[in-house]
Structure 1
Amino acid sequence: MLTMSSCRINKGSRHHKQPPNILFIAVDDLRPQLGCYADPIVQSPNIDKLAGSGVVFNRAYCQQAVCSPSRTSLMTGRRPNTTRVWDLKTHFRSNIPDVITLPQYFKNNGYHTQSVGKIYHDPAKAQDAPSWSVPEISAVTKKEGKYVLPENLQKKSSKAAASEQADVPDNAYIDGQVADQALAVLKKIKDKPFFLAVGFRRPHLPFSAPKKYWDLYDRNKIPLPVPYTLPSNIPVYARHRNEELRGYSDIGFNNVIPDAKKRELLHGYYAAISYVDAQIGKVLAELDRLGLTKNTIIVLWSDHGFHLGENDLWAKATNYELDTRVPLIIAAPGKERGVKSDGLVELVDLYPTLAELGGLPVPEGLEGTSLVPLLTRPGQPWKSAVFSQFPRPWQYKGEPETMGYAIRTDRYRYVEWRDFKTDAIKATELYDHQVDPDEVNNIANIATNAALTGKLKQQLHDGWQRARPVKPNLK
């Protein structure tokens, strides 16, 4: 690893090699539903092309499956119980005011850092000026960016229809505007080392996209979710009542969604993915046109996964596999290309990974593990487990009443629901992914599984530090 002095930008040296640029691409609510993750329906050619130039992480997980806590964890390199951000309202600097965020660390080491689109959570008060060299661009979403049709714009609520298609150009919606702005920024900063974060909002609800992306799919050929229901032996707070989706004007509040509406929603999710994929393609093409690709580390990530009707769940906000597993692609100069890794990894790992790839010392206090070894040997043994959590009730005031802590190993998902004040265990869940990949059979309280449950319980309580690879810097 290079020393701090060798990787700070030295403008007085004619022979100094420019540090690698970083293009940091965030996609909101995108589960691993991409061609490079073997989805047979989606059309995502630009992300798939990026996958061919880097490493695709098949088993990457967020730390809490909702926007602000997940993004806060990633950007600070700390887990939710350290940031104490478990909701959508708390700003991390109210709890850890002096923390150096990921882009801020690069800014402090001579990089130009800039943000276009959604990187932190949406509201203006959720932004973080110390992270960036210049003010954020399009960091807050307005209703006009989500909708273009008058019937949706005229509704008083910020939530109108759950999906929208309109025969309009890409930049009629917010993500097309973000792509245009990112291209303009790239032209301005191309001659200086940069950390450019570009955040796209689809396929977050509403599933709005120009008509040409809807036209890529035949709605009747999109399969409906398998009609499993969640197991009966789980606590009521392990799931939710689809509040996020039910807030849209065309859904209703009876929690019964007809098949025709389900197909429309699925169609919209696919269209939104293809729309964002096209915008990402524009940014990657401009990076290449400017001759920057060879010296740029490209990271593509989503803040969490998403349910699309599986187990009667829509959106995120659980501890289950579909909500916590995310797409993650890293393409770095000199590293493996077009390969996949099955190592268990986490979004909190991105901070130390990028620090190391950038030739910077990994700061103390980070709660992730650098993934650089997996970029050179993707199949090597890695973490024994990854960790997520989710509070109940959701959207509480003050501290949560109950916190669900989840551990995902190679084979199992184990969840403990604990009283947040006393830490007493209130309920447990255990799923065997070898025989139950849809997590529909909670086997935690079966007597014959007592030894297994006890082992996973201990592993969860031992925590993330014990789950790290023995030699994380093995090349």
Structure 2
Amino acid sequence: MRAPAFLRNSLLAMAVFGLVVAASRWASAAENTRPNVLLIIADDLRNEMGCYGSPVAQTPRLDEFAATAVRFDKAYCQFPLCNPSRSSVLTGLRPTTVGVLGNRTWFGATRPDAVSLVRHFKAHGYQTVRSGKIFHGGIDDSQAWSVGGRPRYFGQDASAKPPVHRERNADGRLLTKTERSDRWIVLPNEGRDHTDHKIADRAVEYLRSNPTEPFFLTAGFHKPHSPLAAPQRFFDQFDPAEIELSPDYAPRPTVPEGFPAGSIRPSNADLFVGRDSTPESARKMIHAYLAASAWMDWNAGRVLDELEAQGLADNTIVLFWGDHGYQLGEKGKWSKAGSLWEQGARTPLLIRDPRAAAAGAACPRVVEALDIYPTLCDLCGLPIPEQLEGVSLARFLEDPDAASDRPAYTIWSADGKTVSGVCVRTERWRYAEFYGRGPGRMLTDPVNDPHELTNLADRPEHAELVARLSRLAQEYVAGHAAE
């Protein structure tokens, strides 16, 4: 006996409804199985890590992590300064495109159409959690965060000054600018009262909260940014007398013979500001830098440990990055600002995807920090915004030796408005041009001259190479170079 029409329609409706509900549940389940993301950033950390071959660094926790990740041996920042570097990475745009060439420019004012990496993940169902320094200073994208965003932007008020991360002595007194640049700090109470310890605490607390939706968790540590600080036990890991200075160490910023004047700023910005170093004081300062780096490593390890303890590691992509390089006395320079040398432009970059085949491998290809945004989108199955200027590095997590001929570009601006220098890094060569003050060009051979002691730019045998790299450099900064 055939059922009445109204009953057949009801049964059909119920069946359709059931399929819709099931599809919704399947979609929800798929959404919840998306990989999480843990983004860890260190400030002013150059490739002075055990996993990068440093003979003196003590970074055991990140070295252990590197053994489970892909280590990028030729990763380069797009600008050797905090705000331009981070603004480029977090918007996926070159510094000249996003219009951020200094530490006091908010990307939201120069490119209000830019969608930050964090906001993009939030828009696609991720809970986004900020702990520590992700954007720079008082600059933020507060609407991008589910948890922890700042309520105000620096840059909306041109007269405002960004908040400064201030260090205190053991007695609680704020350090003066001179003290912050000329000394280091032994932190009392095992550093528990310091911002970096609390950054790790907040990240650990979130991981213990039993998150039920995909998360994008960040932990941005301030160290080893000056003033150099760590608990005593991290200083005790090193003997300053055993620290070797670079072959091109100098007591003050010194332009090497045969190089453009614009290749070295005449004064330091971070350490030994306004005064010369000596070999003895230089070793002690490097000692403090190594201690601060070791302490950052320990705090990063606390977060990685908790990820494992909560059973989240197998479904979490972890990316560790240093926002730019740093010079520790090479050519007399003690900072990152203005450095288009290898130590200033090169950064640590480690990526672990539990699904990837190349865990523990090293990738020799040249890559850019600009590639982080599309890489995380690719690995998490999110659409990659068309305006991004980097490329996904996901293929290198399966095959670290995959072919690539893309160079990396790093620029510098002396006035925060125009480009005063640009470096082109290929797998074989480093080439840079300088404009405005101290113009000129330099070509160095990283293989045979790792300390960049000889400028090859005017050698006749390299004329064709220099012409080709010069074209790339000028195309990259067209319309932005200083006169």
TM-score (norm 2): 0.85
Residue type of the alignment partner of 2:464: A
2:367 is matched with 345
Corresponding residue SS for 1:93: helix
State the distance in 2 between where 1:151 and 1:259 align.
31
Residue type of the alignment partner of 1:378: P
The 3 A distance-change label for structure 1 pair 426 and 260 is closer
Corresponding residue SS for 1:107: helix
The 3 A distance-change label for structure 1 pair 308 and 152 is farther
2:425 is matched with 408
Corresponding residue SS for 1:244: coil
Equivalent pair of 1:171/1:180 in contact (CA under 8 Å): no
The 3 A distance-change label for structure 1 pair 10 and 142 is farther
1:18 is matched with 33
1:208 to 202, 209, 229: 229
Corresponding residue SS for 2:301: helix
2:458 to 432, 445, 450: 445
2:383 is matched with 361
1:103 aligns with 2:118: yes
Residue type of the alignment partner of 1:61: Y
How far residue 189 of structure 1 moved from its aligned partner, in angstroms, is 5.6
How far residue 340 of structure 1 moved from its aligned partner, in angstroms, is 0.6
Residue type of the alignment partner of 2:62: I
State the distance in 2 between where 1:138 and 1:442 align.
49
How far residue 151 of structure 1 moved from its aligned partner, in angstroms, is 8.2
State the distance in 1 between where 2:98 and 2:45 align.
24
1:302 aligns with 2:302: no
Count of paired positions = 439
* Deviation larger for 380-389 or 81-90: 380-389
State the distance in 2 between where 1:127 and 1:407 align.
30
The 3 A distance-change label for structure 1 pair 134 and 143 is closer
How far residue 38 of structure 1 moved from its aligned partner, in angstroms, is 1.2
Q: Which has more strand, going by share of residues?
A: 1
Equivalent pair of 1:307/1:316 in contact (CA under 8 Å): yes
1:292 to 312, 331, 347: 312
* Deviation larger for 326-335 or 131-140: 131-140
Equivalent pair of 1:209/1:272 in contact (CA under 8 Å): yes
1:53 to 68, 79, 86: 68
Corresponding residue SS for 1:312: coil
How far residue 463 of structure 1 moved from its aligned partner, in angstroms, is 5.0
The 3 A distance-change label for structure 1 pair 73 and 236 is same
1:83 aligns with 2:98: yes
State the distance in 2 between where 1:385 and 1:456 align.
10
The 3 A distance-change label for structure 1 pair 10 and 176 is farther
Residue type of the alignment partner of 2:193: A
State the distance in 2 between where 1:441 and 1:332 align.
40
Query: Structure 2: any 5+ residue segments left out of the alignment?
Result: 1-22, 153-161, 478-483
Pairing of 1:258-297 with structure 2 (within 5 A): 258-297=278-317
How far residue 371 of structure 1 moved from its aligned partner, in angstroms, is 0.2
The 3 A distance-change label for structure 1 pair 155 and 436 is closer
How far residue 184 of structure 1 moved from its aligned partner, in angstroms, is 1.2
Residue type of the alignment partner of 1:272: A
* Deviation larger for 266-275 or 256-265: 256-265
State the distance in 2 between where 1:10 and 1:185 align.
28
1:374 to 371, 393, 396: 396
State the distance in 2 between where 1:191 and 1:403 align.
48
State the distance in 2 between where 1:243 and 1:462 align.
30
State the distance in 1 between where 2:175 and 2:446 align.
46
TM-score (norm 1): 0.87
1:71 to 86, 96, 102: 86
2:198 is matched with 177
State the distance in 1 between where 2:425 and 2:177 align.
42
2:155 is matched with none
1:429 is matched with 442
State the distance in 2 between where 1:66 and 1:369 align.
22
State the distance in 1 between where 2:344 and 2:28 align.
49
Residues 398-423 of structure 1: CA deviation (Å, up to 9, x unaligned): x23x5211101112111122459xxx
2:50 is matched with 35
How far residue 158 of structure 1 moved from its aligned partner, in angstroms, is 7.9
2:158 is matched with none
1:470 is matched with none
1:233 aligns with 2:258: yes
The 3 A distance-change label for structure 1 pair 156 and 417 is closer
Equivalent pair of 1:30/1:302 in contact (CA under 8 Å): yes
Residue type of the alignment partner of 1:329: L
How far residue 190 of structure 1 moved from its aligned partner, in angstroms, is 2.2
Residue type of the alignment partner of 2:431: Y
Equivalent pair of 1:117/1:138 in contact (CA under 8 Å): no
The structure with more radius of gyration: 2
How far residue 313 of structure 1 moved from its aligned partner, in angstroms, is 1.0
How far residue 141 of structure 1 moved from its aligned partner, in angstroms, is 7.0
1:459 aligns with 2:442: no
Equivalent pair of 2:267/2:273 in contact (CA under 8 Å): no
1:385 is matched with 407
